[in-house]
Structure 1
Amino acid sequence: MNVLLFGASGMIGQGVLRECLLDDRVESVVAVVRKPLGFTHPKLREVVHEDFTDFSSLAGEFKAVDACFFCLGISSARKSEEEYRRITYDYTLAAARALPSNPSLTFTYVSGEGTDSTESGRSMWARVKGRTENDLLAMPFHAYMFRPGYIQPLHGATSRTRAYRLLYVGVSWLYPLLRRVIPKHVTTTENLGRAMLAVAGAGGAGEHILYSPEINRLAAEGR
């Protein structure tokens, strides 16, 4: 399996990249980044790219892709709807449209619990995520929307956002309790990566909107 990864420097992307590099089914990972990740691996190829609204120059890099794992995203805090939509919707759809025409290709998108599929609710971020999901699901490949709730970072994965880093430091000790009390709303970076690999090998089967319980189940089945 040849994987194309967006958002490899973020907390979720770090976890997904780790699982890809550890998995024997993955032959190669092309990570599209703005800055080098700072490490090397025999499976990993970094492609430094500036304009995330136009990937036309990377057609050659995308040609052999079997699965695209899109983990890039930002918080909506202090963002205008236009700014949030540009990164959340425009970047994602630009990547999806740049992929080769291949109906067997899998595209996984990290959305979020609470996403508004109707695109008509009061929550700005939920509407934008909903539009992104809907347009991806209408495209000619196997699209899977991942809607996790709380995500516990594992194996050194860290958020690039200072406020999130502090939050995770403050609540990480609570994760075992959260897992017992609200198991339907928690997952980990490790499970996200393993579940993405599982759906990439499923040939379009299964549910295409996945919450934490489905993510965790797929990850456990793939161990």
Structure 2
Amino acid sequence: MTSNKIRAIITGTTGMVGEGVLHECLQHPDVEAVLIINRKPYGLKHPKLTEIIHKDFFNFSAIENQLVGYNACFFCLGVSSVGMKEPEYYKLTYTLTMHVATTLSKLNPDMTFCYVSGGGTDSTEKGRSMWARVKGKTENDLTKLPFKQEYNFRPGFIKPTEGLKNTLKMYRYLLWLYPIGRALYPNGFCTLKEIGLAMINTVTKGYEKNILEGKEIIELAKR
């Protein structure tokens, strides 16, 4: 797999997963530039880092000229389906993601696109779980876009990176479960560091599958 320096766009850095991926990218020698797109400022200055504040993720026309020249997108933006009706969840998950991805695929045909989906995502789009169907459709349609490579990440329980500010409280209270779960069911347990490293490695090393569950994330992070 060819390997130039990585110039990455990251979405969702005001959430736990996006922040963790950003943390790995800023430390990694293969990543030379990072652009983050947020609705509100993330609040970090770093020599590699540029931030665009943009409210409307359904319309990127005003910032398209700033999105050219990147060879990776780590799409970590997402919402919980709890308490949401399907039309609203569909709009914020499928419609939003596809708009951003379609725009980036036109501007950067050499791009590797990594989408954070979730363990239990339904590739058939026909199961009983609403969120899993919507995520499955999103994954399926992302693979049809003209990216150089497209990968779907399906982590289960994520061990947060210590010291970051956007760790979900739920994960803090359940950390004691992690070593037990990792030993008994490694496919469902990975670290946020492993997710970040695996994404970086998709760009420089590639991977033979485009759907990565926990075991594949862990394996790719070590390459």
TM-score by length of 2: 0.93
The equivalent of 2:151 in structure 1 is 144
Q: Identify which of 175, 195, 209 aligns with 1:172.
A: 175
* Structure 1: unaligned runs, 5 residues or longer: none
Aligned residue for 1:219, secondary structure, equals: helix
Structure 1 vs Structure 2 CA RMSD: 1.4
Q: Residue type of the partner of 1:153?
A: P
- Spell out structure 1 runs of 4+ moving beyond 3 A: 100-103, 157-160
Equivalent in the alignment of 1:18: 23
Residue number in structure 2 paired with 1:213: 215
Alignment-derived partner of residue 42 in structure 1: 47
Cα drift, residue 188 of structure 1:
1.2
Whether the 8 Å CA contact 1:20–1:197 is kept in 2: the answer is: yes
Contact 1:6/1:33, CA 8 A, preserved across alignment? yes
Is the contact between residue 10 and residue 158 of structure 1 (CA under 8 Å) also seen in structure 2? no
**Contact map agreement 2:19 2:166 (CA 8 A) in 1:** no
Distance in 2, matches of 1:88 and 1:158, equals: 24
Q: 2 CA distance for matches of 1:191 and 1:90?
A: 28
Q: 1:87 aligns with which of 92, 112, 129?
A: 92
Q: 2:192 — aligned with what?
A: 189
CA deviation profile, 1:102-142 (whole Å, cap 9, x unmatched):
44310000001111111111110001001100110111111
Q: How does 1:37-186 map to 2 (within 5 A)?
A: 37-99=42-104, 100-141=106-147, 142-157=149-164, 159=166, 164-165=168-169, 167-186=170-189
Q: Secondary structure at the match of 1:27?
A: strand
Q: Secondary structure at the match of 1:144?
A: strand
Contact 1:13 1:71 in 2 (8 A): yes
Identity fraction in percent:
47
C-alpha displacement of 1:158: 5.1
Preserved CA contact (<8 Å) 1:12 1:157: no
Count of equivalent residues: 216
1:77-100: CA deviation from partner (whole Å, max 9, x where unpaired): 001111111111111111111113
Q: Counterpart in 2 of 1:6?
A: 11
Unaligned runs of 5+ in 2: 1-5
